[in-house]
């Protein structure tokens, strides 16, 4: 397996930090090395929010991402800010509401993440978990087992919302699978 | 937890786990980014263990409260960041002269003043040594990973208890906020040190009369040893004195009890140092960048190595001197404008060139910044 | 118990004589603390006296209990740690006026707000004596001090109102002259399960008195005698309180105590 440097970006309150924690948690459960870091502004809601996960078999020294090979952006502002840091061979996942600049890698996925969160799950709160589903589908089951991902989600979301979040995770997987169909 | 016993843990969380494993049962603090998780987790966990958490009105009070609790016999801790650390200096000095064991965690952020609340920095290195007024002992430890944060929080308590002195765990935002794997295996086998208690009868107790190890046994308030504690310069009985002879002896003893024992707690890591001509000295979060930089330089056939002090105070004079004898150049990389490098220069400058790699923009120094600084100036 | 018995039982006689000036009210006030402890038959090993910095804060050093002389203003914060760590201990804090309400004002209001079971006694002499006579937050308006060369333009605190407003559940005031009342208030303060605040008006003939031409210690004590009136008498006849300093028990209203409330949380997790 290669080294995954995943950057998740959006606005405060969208749960990108939690999403990054779930990913890192699952990677460690899988027996891999992972480091999760974040940067954030003074706002608890709104403002820019960025989280990073590095997943690798080897020990990880420098804990930050140099060149992301997966970038998730849920807001235009986050996309504009971080698209330049995505490797040319990397993978881009953005919400469909984002206008692409044209500087994107070949593999770019514009997905109805925020729309489906509200239409299918009645809450924008699951947008982060739909995003994890999409990222997971790109990383692949040979890196992290699906049941480990689901367990990690179940342990980190509020107990009454576990089922809804697992479905949101599946929704993210479906969005990627159906993308080029 | 996976089958090897690893779990994803945040640095600040590991600090609390280490403190609880060491026997910490009293926490007083004031919320401040990026240390707040430590207070939050303590508030959740301590009552479950019968311990006490209190959110004080400020950091002056937090520091005072942990000294009070320690005097009552309970291992105590507070955690803060730069602005709060400044306020704590007053009573850190009190703990030093009154010889009260306690642990102060400083998760460093950008300064001075309110600075960069959510960004890492290492600007409090000299403050950890000289922040409070007057001559005093200082022990400060700088972990660079989540696992180490756990382990060195335990050691911080052990040193505080053993030497009856405040101990500073000098973290930075990078280490405090990052999450990585940590194992809780072997927790039951951790060495725990408790303060030395008096074995004499209360009427024979002379509160500040040191044993041969320079450390006086410490009774807790409420145990029948009614004694006096003051921040004034005091004699062996604990009562204030203006005697120049006694004052000199007291200050020298509290400094010596720590500095003359440095060999017992000289913690450091050497990485690819065997044949290194270029030595990077880095600690805390930056040392992780330095390690990556060493690997990169080695790929370029540059004989680079890393010396990473974990015990940052007292200064590891002996070890740094030896490193400087073998090295052609030393680069001190730190997220300040050159603090630890002053000490390195003092010890190493006769043996080799000492250069600085500094950054104060709120971002971790990158491995590339280190390799470029070295590649750009290294003379073969 | 007569004076010498109290002295030998509760004082560290080898630490005497004390540092206070002749005529200072602090010795009398210290004695009221000791007599209250004696009256309540508290176990000396379980009594902790904590002080800050200033003339008043030297009191614990003369007393044979667990004693802690802390930093300026912080006595209540140290005391909070002690009491919370070992609730069995009777924690009594002795502070000065500047100590408690200037540099330590924030700690005072928050300790009161928490209603933690600490008895706080302020020796109020209206001046910073230890540093040589600077005005404090209780120096009357217009009075002279070494840092109020043309008269003090700061308005003084009413410490008892401050403490009560912040949440103290037992509040009273007496003076170095009204030592019997002072002792009684301290006894009740110690018995109150919560934050108790007792102000003891002291006198400083050396600095405040001399600077403001208040006469010698005898005259200053006489002033306290003649100008203070018990609140109970004023309650019956408000006219009697005109231009007088109120003394007596001002407030006695037990409320849930901080450490007891914390214990409820601990108990949630036991068995």
For the stretch B121-143, pLDDT in tens is 999 999 999 999 999 999 999 99
Same domain, B307 and B245: no
Q: How far apart are the first and last CA of chain B?
A: 48
Chains B and C touch (3+ CB pairs under 8 A): yes
CB neighbourhood size of B204 (10 A): 9
- Collect all residues with Cβ–Cβ distance below 8 Å to A26 and sequence separation of at least 6: A144, A148, A149, A151, A152
Q: How many domains would you assign to chain B?
A: 2
The pTM score is 0.97
- Calculate the alpha carbon distances from C107 to A127, B65, B89, B377, C112 in Å: 46, 11, 17, 55, 8
Residues B226 and B79 in one domain: yes
- Which residues, other chains included, contact C236 with Cβ-Cβ below 8 Å and sequence gap of 6+? none
Check CB contact under 8 Å for A63 and B288: yes
What's the whole-number average pLDDT of chain A?
Answer: 93
Task: With beta carbons under 8 A apart, name residues in chain A contacting B368.
Answer: 66
Domain holding B328: CATH number?
Answer: 3.40.50.920
pLDDT(A181) > 70: no
Residue ranges of E strands in C167-244: 170-175, 196-201, 228-230
**Tell me, what CATH number does B26's domain have?**
3.40.50.970
Q: Which of B6, B177, B368 sits opposite A37 (nearest CB)?
A: B177
Task: State how far the Cα of C174 lies from the Cα of B86, in Å rounded to an integer.
Answer: 39
Burial A9-25 (b: 16+ CB within 10 A, else e): bbbbebbbbbbbbbbbb
Compute the C-alpha angle B120/B121/B124, nearest 5°.
135
Contact A24 B179 (CB under 8 A): yes
Q: B179: which strand partners?
A: A36, B10
Question: Which residues 271-300 of chain B have a CB within 8 Å of chain A?
Answer: 285, 288-289, 291-292, 295
Q: CB distance A28–B118 less than 8 Å?
A: no
Residue B335 lies in a domain: yes
A150 CA to chain B: closest CA distance, Å? 14
| pLDDT-based confidence at residue A23 (cuts at 50, 70, 90) | very high
Q: How would you classify the pairing of strands B304-309 and B278-281?
A: parallel
pLDDT for res B380: 45
Q: Which of A57, C98, C269, A92 lies closest to B53, judged by CA?
A: C269
Q: What is the pLDDT of residue C164?
A: 98
Question: pLDDT tens track of chain C, all 271 residues?
Answer: 566 888 899 999 999 999 999 999 999 999 999 999 999 999 999 999 999 999 999 999 999 999 999 999 999 999 999 999 999 999 999 999 999 999 999 999 999 999 999 999 999 999 999 999 999 999 999 999 999 999 999 999 999 999 999 999 999 999 999 999 999 999 999 999 999 999 999 999 999 999 999 999 999 999 999 999 999 999 999 999 999 999 999 999 999 999 999 999 999 998 7
Eight-state DSSP code of residue C211: H
So what's the pLDDT on residue C7? 87
Q: Which token pair is A136? A: 């997971």
Nearest CA in chain A to B5: A29
Nearest CA in chain A to B182: A28
Token digits for B380?
Answer: 């073969």
A172 contact partners, CB below 8 Å, separation of at least 6: A111, A113, A129, A130, A131, A132, A133, A134, A135, A136, A137
Does B274 lie in the same domain as B214? no
Cis-peptide, bond into residue A9, ω within 30° of zero: no
Question: For chain A, which domains are there?
Answer: 4-177 (3.40.920.10)
Residue B303 resides in a domain: yes
Residue B41 lies inside a defined structural domain of this protein: yes
Last residue of a domain, one of B265, B300, B331: B265
Q: Does C16 touch chain B (CB under 8 A)?
A: no
The last residue of one of the domains, among B236, B265, B294, is B265
CB contact under 8 A, B65 and C48: no
Which pLDDT does position A105 carry in this prediction?
77
Among A7, A28, A5, residue whose Cα is nearest residue A83: A7
Report which of B45, B56, B1, B58 is spatially closest to residue B19, judged by C-alpha positions.
B45
Q: Which chains touch C (3 or more CB pairs under 8 A)?
A: B
Bridge partners (DSSP) of residue A67 are none
* 3-class secondary-structure state, position A68: strand
| CB within 8 Å: B94 and C71 | yes
Least Cα separation, residue B175 to chain A (angstroms): 9
**Contact criterion met (CB < 8 Å) for C70 and B64:** yes
Beta bridge partners of C171: C197, C251
pLDDT in tens, B314-365: 999 999 999 999 999 999 999 999 999 999 999 999 999 999 999 999 999 9
- Distance of alpha carbon B354 from alpha carbon B24, whole angstroms: 40
- Indicate whether B203 and B286 sit together in one domain: no
Is the torsion defined by CA of C155, C156, C161, C166 positive or negative? Answer: positive
B60, B68, B94 ranked by CB distance to C80: nearest: B68
Say yes or no: B51 and B74 in one domain.
yes
**Residues B125, B123: Cα–Cα separation, whole Å:** 6
Q: With contact defined as beta carbons under 8 Å apart, do B300 and B293 qualify?
A: no
- B42 and B183 share a domain? yes
- Distance of alpha carbon C87 from alpha carbon B74, whole angstroms: 12
Interface probe for C, chosen from B61, B62, B231 (most Cβ of C below 10 Å), is: B61
Residue of C50, C66, C117, C260 best to disrupt the B interface, most CBs of B under 10 A: C66
Interchain proximity A62–B178, CB inside 8 Å:
no
Which residue range is the domain that position B244 belongs to?
1-265
Both tokens assigned to A156 = 């980190």
Nearest CB among B48, B62, B73 relative to C85 is that of B73
Q: Which residue of B has its CA nearest to C271?
A: B48
Backbone angles phi, psi at A108, to 5 degrees: -120, 135
Average pLDDT of A161-177? 97
Q: Do C15 and B72 touch (CB under 8 A)?
A: no
Query: Does residue B94 belong to the interface with chain C, where contact is any CB pair within 8 Å?
Result: yes
Q: Is C86's CB within 8 Å of B64's CB?
A: no
B233 and B321 together in one domain: no
Q: What are phi and psi of B19, to 5 degrees?
A: -60, -45
Chains B, C: CB contacts within 8 A come to 135
A166 burial type by CB count under 10 A (0-12 exposed, 13-18 middle, 19+ buried): middle
Please name the residue that has the structure tokens 């105070």: B313
Helix and strand numbers, DSSP H then E, in chain C: 11, 10
- The verdict on B252 and B290 lying in the same domain is no
Residue B157 lies in a domain: yes
Instruction: Compute the C-alpha angle C137/C94/C257, nearest 5°.
Output: 100
Q: How many CB pairs under 8 A join A and B?
A: 66
User: Is C247 in the B-facing interface, judged by CB distances under 8 Å?
Assistant: no
Alpha-carbon distance A31 to nearest alpha carbon in chain B (angstroms): 7
pLDDT digits (tens, 9 = 90+) for B18-55: 999 999 999 999 999 999 999 999 999 999 999 999 99
ipTM above 0.95, yes or no: yes
Cβ of B221 within 8 Å of Cβ of C48? The answer is: yes
Residue B32 shares a structural domain with residue B174: yes
Contacting subunits of A (3+ beta carbon pairs below 8 A): B
Q: Which chains sit next to B, with 3 or more Cβ pairs under 8 A? A: A, C
Cα angle value C232/C167/B37 (rounded, 5°)? 170
380 residues of chain B, pLDDT tens digit each: 787 789 999 999 999 999 999 999 999 999 999 999 999 999 999 999 999 999 999 999 999 999 999 999 999 999 999 999 999 999 999 999 999 999 999 999 999 999 999 999 999 999 999 999 999 999 999 999 999 999 999 999 999 999 999 999 999 999 999 999 999 878 888 999 999 999 999 999 999 999 999 999 999 999 999 999 999 999 999 999 999 999 999 999 999 999 999 999 999 999 999 999 999 999 999 999 999 999 999 999 999 999 999 999 999 999 999 999 999 999 999 999 999 999 999 999 999 999 999 999 999 999 999 999 998 665 44
Question: How close is the nearest chain C Cα to the Cα of B228, in Å?
Answer: 5
B299-to-A144, B292, B326, C12, C172 alpha-carbon distances in Å: 31, 11, 21, 72, 77
Give the span between the Cα atoms of C69 and B148, in whole angstroms.
37
Angstrom distance (rounded) from CA A161 to CA A126: 9
Half-sphere exposure of B320 (CA within 13 A, CB side): 30
Domain boundary among B231, B265, B299: B265
Mean pLDDT of the A127-138 span: 97
A47 pLDDT higher than 90: no
CA distance B169 to B106: 6
Q: Is residue B380 part of a domain?
A: no
Using CA coordinates, name the residue in chain B closest to C105.
B57
User: Which residue matches tokens 């306020």?
Assistant: B87
Q: Which CATH superfamily is domain C3-268 in?
A: Thiamin diphosphate (ThDP)-binding fold, Pyr/PP domains (3.40.50.970)
**Two structure tokens written together for A37:** 């870091």
Beta-sheet strands, E only, within chain B: 6-10, 26-29, 52-55, 76-80, 102-110, 116-120, 139-141, 166-172, 179-183, 228-230, 268-271, 278-281, 304-309, 311-313, 329-334, 353-358
Q: CA B369 to CA B32: how far, in whole Å?
A: 30
Q: Are B106 and B195 found together in one domain?
A: yes
Altogether, the residues listed in chain B come to a count of 380
B134 at C interface, C-beta within 8 A? no
Structure tokens at B347: 């010890």
Residue C137 contacts by C-beta under 8 Å, 6 or more apart in sequence?
Answer: C97, C98, C101, C102, C105, C154, C156, C157
B222 interfaces chain C, CB cutoff of 8 Å: yes
């Amino acid at each position: 397996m290669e080294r995954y440097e995943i950057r998740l970006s959006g606005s405060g309150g969208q749960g990108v930090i939690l999403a990054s924690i779930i990913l890192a948690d699952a990677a460690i459960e899988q027996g891999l090395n992972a480091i999760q870091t974040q940067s954030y502004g003074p706002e608890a809601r709104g403002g820019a929010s960025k989280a990073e996960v590095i997943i690798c078999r080897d020990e990880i020294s420098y804990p930050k991402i140099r060149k992301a090979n997966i970038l998730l952006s849920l807001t235009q502002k986050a996309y504009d800010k971080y698209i330049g840091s995505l490797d040319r061979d990397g993978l881009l996942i953005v919400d469909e509401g984002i206008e692409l600049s044209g500087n994107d890698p070949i593999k770019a996925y514009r997905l109805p993440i925020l729309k489906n969160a509200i239409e299918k799950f009645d809450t924008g709160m699951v947008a982060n978990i739909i995003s994890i589903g999409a990222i997971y589908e790109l990383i692949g089951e040979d890196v992290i087992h699906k049941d480990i991902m689901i367990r990690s989600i179940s342990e980190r979301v509020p107990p009454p919302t576990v089922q809804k979040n697992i479905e949101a995770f599946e929704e993210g997987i479906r969005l990627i699978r159906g993308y080029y169909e | 937890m996976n089958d090897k016993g690893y779990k994803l843990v945040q640095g600040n969380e590991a600090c609390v786990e280490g403190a609880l494993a060491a026997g910490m049962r009293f926490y007083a603090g004031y919320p401040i980014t990026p240390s707040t998780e430590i207070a939050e987790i303590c508030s959740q966990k301590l009552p479950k263990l019968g311990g006490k958490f209190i959110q004080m009105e400020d950091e002056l009070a937090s520091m005072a409260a942990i000294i009070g609790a320690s005097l009552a016999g309970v291992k105590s801790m507070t955690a803060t960041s730069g602005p709060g650390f400044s306020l704590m200096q007053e009573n850190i000095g009190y703990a030093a002269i009154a010889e009260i064991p306690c642990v102060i965690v400083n998760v460093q952020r950008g300064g001075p003043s309110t600075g960069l609340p959510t960004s890492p920095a290492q600007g409090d290195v000299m403050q950890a040594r000289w922040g409070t007024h007057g001559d005093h002992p200082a022990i400060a430890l700088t972990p660079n990973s989540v696992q180490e944060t756990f382990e060195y929080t335990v050691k911080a308590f052990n040193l505080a208890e053993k030497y009856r002195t405040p101990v500073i765990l000098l973290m930075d935002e990078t280490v405090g906020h990052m999450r990585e794997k940590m194992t809780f295996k072997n927790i039951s086998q951790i060495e725990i040190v408790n303060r030395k208690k008096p074995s004499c009868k209360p009427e024979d107790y002379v509160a500040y009369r040191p044993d041969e190890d320079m450390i006086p046994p410490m009774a807790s308030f409420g145990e029948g040893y009614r004694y006096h504690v003051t921040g004034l310069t005091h004699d062996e009985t604990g009562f204030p004195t203006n005697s120049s002879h006694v004052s000199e002896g007291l200050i020298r003893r509290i400094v010596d009890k720590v500095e003359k024992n440095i060999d017992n707690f000289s913690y450091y890591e050497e990485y690819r140092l065997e044949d290194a001509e270029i030595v990077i000295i880095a600690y805390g979060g930056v040392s992780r960048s330095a390690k990556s930089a060493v690997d990169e330089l080695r790929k370029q056939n540059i004989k680079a190595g890393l010396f990473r002090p974990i015990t940052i105070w007292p200064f590891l004079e002996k070890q740094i001197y030896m490193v400087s004898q073998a090295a052609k150049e030393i680069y001190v990389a730190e997220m300040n404008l050159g603090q630890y490098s002053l000490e390195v220069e003092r010890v190493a400058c006769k043996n080799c060139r000492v250069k600085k790699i500094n950054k104060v923009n709120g971002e971790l120094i990158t491995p590339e910044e280190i390799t470029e600084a070295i590649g750009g100036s290294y003379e073969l | 118990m007569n004076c010498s018995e109290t002295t030998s039982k509760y004082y560290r006689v080898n630490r005497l004589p004390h540092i206070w000036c002749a005529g200072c009210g602090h010795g009398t006030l210290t004695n009221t603390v000791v007599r209250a402890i004696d009256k309540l038959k508290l176990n000396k090993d379980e009594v902790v006296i904590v002080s800050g910095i200033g003339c008043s804060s030297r009191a614990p050093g003369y007393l044979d209990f667990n004693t802690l002389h802390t930093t300026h203003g912080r006595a209540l914060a140290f005391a909070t740690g002690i009491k919370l760590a070992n609730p069995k201990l009777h924690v009594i804090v002795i502070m000065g006026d500047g100590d408690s309400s200037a540099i330590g004002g924030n700690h005072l209001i928050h300790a009161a707000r928490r209603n933690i079971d600490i008895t706080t006694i302020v020796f109020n002499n209206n001046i910073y004596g230890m540093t040589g006579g600077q005005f404090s937050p209780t120096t009357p308006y217009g009075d002279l001090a070494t840092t109020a060369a043309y008269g003090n333009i700061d308005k003084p605190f009413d410490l008892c109102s401050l403490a009560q407003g912040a949440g103290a559940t037992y509040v009273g005031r007496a003076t170095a002259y009204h030592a019997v009342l002072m002792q009684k208030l301290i006894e009740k303060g110690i018995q109150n399960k919560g934050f108790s605040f007792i102000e003891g008006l002291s006198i400083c003939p050396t600095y405040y008195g001399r600077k403001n031409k208040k006469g010698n210690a005898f005259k200053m004590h006489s002033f306290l005698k003649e100008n203070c009136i018990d609140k109970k008498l004023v309650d019956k006849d408000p006219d009697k309180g005109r231009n007088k300093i109120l003394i007596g028990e001002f407030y006695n209203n037990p409320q849930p105590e901080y450490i007891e409330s914390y214990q409820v949380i601990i108990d949630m997790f036991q068995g």
